[in-house]
Chain A
Amino acid sequence: MYKIRIHGRGGQGAKKAAKIIGQAAFDMGKQVQDFALYGAERRGAPVMSFVRIDDNPILERGYIDDPDVVIVLDKALLEIVNVSAGLDENGLLIINSEQEPVLDTPAMVKHVDATTIALEIIGKPIFNTIMLGALAKFTNIISKDALDRAVEEELSKYPDKIIKANKDAVKKCYEVA
């Protein structure tokens, strides 16, 4: 089973990112469970979301404390949240940062400047979907095609222009990551 944990802040779309990963894996014929940990969360508060992906029905429930992959949407979280908790030497951490972060973890750390890509292509600092381009690049959990379709599906309530901008930004992230 693949376990993914996403760290973000309320309003940054950690929940949506988990849904898109889930939808992409589901589209690839996998068993999926995705959810977000939130209560009366407010914009800016640290939040987490989770995805489990397997070939067999998933019996685990609840928070993921032994992830295979951690995605960090906001590098400022490093100061207040132990984002690498539970990652081992086989793990992967992908962080939205313009430079290599200083992290005490046995896991492989990759960074991608999703904020700049977001500002360039979408015109707003919305980088939750963009970070998933890096996930598709660095792992074989979800394919680029399935990710594309999932972005389209999950953003279907938005105008075509926004969907296209998001897909372009995901593509850019996939290329530069």
Chain B
Amino acid sequence: MKHLLITGNEAAAWGARLIKPHFIPTFPITPQTECIETLARWKVEGDLPDTDFERMESEHSVMSAAIGAAAVGVRVFTATSSQGLMLMHEVLYIASGMRLPIVMVNISRGLSAPVTLWSDHNDFLDQRDSGWIMFHAENNQEVLDMVLQGYRIAEDPRVLLPVMVNMDGYVLSFTDEPVIIPSYEDVKQFLPAYDPQHTITSDRPVTVGPPVMDEYTDYKAQMHLASRNALTVLDEVQNDFEKIFGRRYHTVDEFMLDDAELVLITQGSMSTTAKAAILEMREEGIKVGLLRLRVIRPWPGEIICKALQNVKAIAVIDRNIAPGKGGIMLPEIVESLYHSINRPLVSGFIVGLGGKPQTEAKIKEITHKLANDLASGRPRIEWNDVEVS
């Protein structure tokens, strides 16, 4: 174990290095480039002796190659961002449909046009229904840890689905933070050597992903159940992870929720800023807490509902936009709360598109608006300080 000051990109690369993937197909894109550059350097310097590192001609080819490699039973890692993830889009469904335990890091960046290099969450939320397990990290340590956990969950026979670990571009990808790098021995104990059960081999030729008729629904139902299984597997994996590494993550991250009347629902790196603002608001006697969505798929609706059972008002802070609808996570939260006995007021705020900075002042402003909404009994949907309906 060692303690390094590294970027989110480097933390992702360390996660990959520690699990010793057999194959890393890559294509560079800002702000992911530093991650694959780091892995490429390690390959040249001899730190990844058993890894085949390939530069492909596009992200579509990256995911296609990842599928081929995973189908013959090797561990695969890759990373991408934004337009690159969009170019993979159709192939992502093939990876999940073929039940291949690939782990990919996506460094979120807003989608063109107009071009932005900075973060928002539209790129990976657009892949929400692709069948991938989706995590969203708050800091660089979590990026590394989720890569390690990703393989355990993806390779579990009850799951067998690909995993996407998301982090915010720039705010994490290019920011140095202290990160604990586990030892190879501990990682090996946590994640034993890969023993794939369903692979194509020369003495057992099979067709995977062929055209089907009646069975199509069955396959999709199995995928759905496998994704739901991941919630159970996730808990077991947390237990093992904590035993070995001494850190624990929960399916949803709860911060000062116990006596909270007002709750902010956040994702990713803005949660850190929001926690700082909450600590200050608590000093002023405002009963505000935070729930951070760490696991986007499978959707942990019941856990979210339970965590929010005593709160009065919720602000869902979406760093994404579905034009013509609003924030993407707002309706997911509302749907989960619809059947609860206590149905708190829910307002929606769309913030931080294309990397617009999320400050503590902005978080406080949202909290004050939420308190006003609670007092008036009227929820709002707000975007860039402009009320939209």
Cα distance A22–B5 in the bound complex, in angstroms: 8
Interface mask (A142-175 → B, CB under 8 Å = 1, otherwise 0): 0000000000000000000000000000000000
**Is A44 among interface residues, defined by CB-CB distance under 8 A?**
no
In the complex, are the beta carbons of B117 and A35 less than 8 A apart? no
Q: Given that A35-B175, A39-B117 are contacting pairs, would A59 and B5 also be in contact in the complex, using a CB cutoff of 8 Å?
A: no
In the complex, are the beta carbons of B176 and A32 less than 8 A apart? yes
User: Interface residues of A toward B: which range?
Assistant: 10 to 19
Q: Which of B353-369 contact A (CB under 8 A)?
A: 357-360
Residue of B nearest to A153 (CB): B5
Main secondary structure of the interface of A (DSSP, over half): mixed
Residue in B269, B272, B273 with the greatest tally of chain A CB atoms within 10 Å? B272
**Is B174 among interface residues, defined by CB-CB distance under 8 A?**
yes
Interface mask (B271-290 → A, CB under 8 Å = 1, otherwise 0): 01101100100000000000
**Is A61 among interface residues, defined by CB-CB distance under 8 A?**
yes
Cα distance A63–B118 in the bound complex, in angstroms: 14
Q: Which of B148-204 contact A (CB under 8 A)?
A: 170-171, 174-178
Q: Shortest CB–CB separation between residue B97 and chain A, in angstroms?
A: 37
Interface mask (A55-98 → B, CB under 8 Å = 1, otherwise 0): 00011111100000000000000000000000000000000000
Q: Given that A22-B5, A23-B5, A60-B273 are contacting pairs, would A32 and B177 also be in contact in the complex, using a CB cutoff of 8 Å?
A: yes
In the complex, are the beta carbons of A62 and B276 less than 8 A apart? no
**Is A105 among interface residues, defined by CB-CB distance under 8 A?**
no
In the complex, are the beta carbons of B5 and A60 less than 8 A apart? no
In the complex, are the beta carbons of B358 and A33 less than 8 A apart? no
Q: Shortest CB–CB separation between residue B331 and chain A, in angstroms?
A: 27
Q: Shortest CB–CB separation between residue A141 and chain B, in angstroms?
A: 15
| B residues less than 8 Å from A32 (CB atoms) | 5, 176-178
Residue of A nearest to B7 (CB): A35
Residue of B nearest to A150 (CB): B5
Cα distance A19–B358 in the bound complex, in angstroms: 23
| A residues less than 8 Å from B171 (CB atoms) | 35, 61-62
Q: How many residues of B contact A (CB 8 A)?
A: 21
| B residues less than 8 Å from A61 (CB atoms) | 171, 175, 269-270, 272-273, 358
Cα distance A103–B284 in the bound complex, in angstroms: 38
User: Which among B117, B175, B275 is the interface contact of A33 at CB below 8 angstroms?
Assistant: B175
**Is A36 among interface residues, defined by CB-CB distance under 8 A?**
yes
In the complex, are the beta carbons of B273 and A35 less than 8 A apart? no
Q: Shortest CB–CB separation between residue B107 and chain A, in angstroms?
A: 14
In the complex, are the beta carbons of A59 and B276 less than 8 A apart? yes
Cα distance A22–B273 in the bound complex, in angstroms: 20
Cα distance A26–B294 in the bound complex, in angstroms: 28
Q: Shortest CB–CB separation between residue A93 and chain B, in angstroms?
A: 23
Cα distance A32–B7 in the bound complex, in angstroms: 12
Residue of A nearest to B41 (CB): A157
In the complex, are the beta carbons of B176 and A22 less than 8 A apart? yes
Enumerate the 10 nearest inter-chain pairs by beta-carbon distance, A residue then B residue, closest first: A59-B276, A35-B175, A26-B5, A34-B176, A62-B357, A39-B117, A61-B273, A22-B176, A59-B272, A61-B272
Q: List 21 A-B contacts (CB under 8 A).
A: A22-B5, A31-B178, A32-B5, A32-B176, A33-B175, A33-B177, A35-B170, A35-B171, A35-B175, A35-B176, A39-B118, A40-B117, A59-B275, A60-B272, A60-B273, A60-B276, A60-B360, A61-B171, A61-B175, A61-B272, A62-B359
Q: What residues make up the interface of B, taking CB atoms closer than 8 Å to A?
A: 5, 117-118, 170-171, 174-178, 269-270, 272-273, 275-276, 279, 357-360
Known: A36-B174, A59-B276, A60-B360. 19 other contacts (CB 8 A): A26-B5, A31-B178, A32-B5, A33-B176, A34-B5, A35-B170, A35-B176, A39-B118, A40-B117, A59-B272, A59-B273, A60-B272, A60-B276, A61-B175, A61-B358, A62-B171, A62-B273, A62-B358, A62-B359
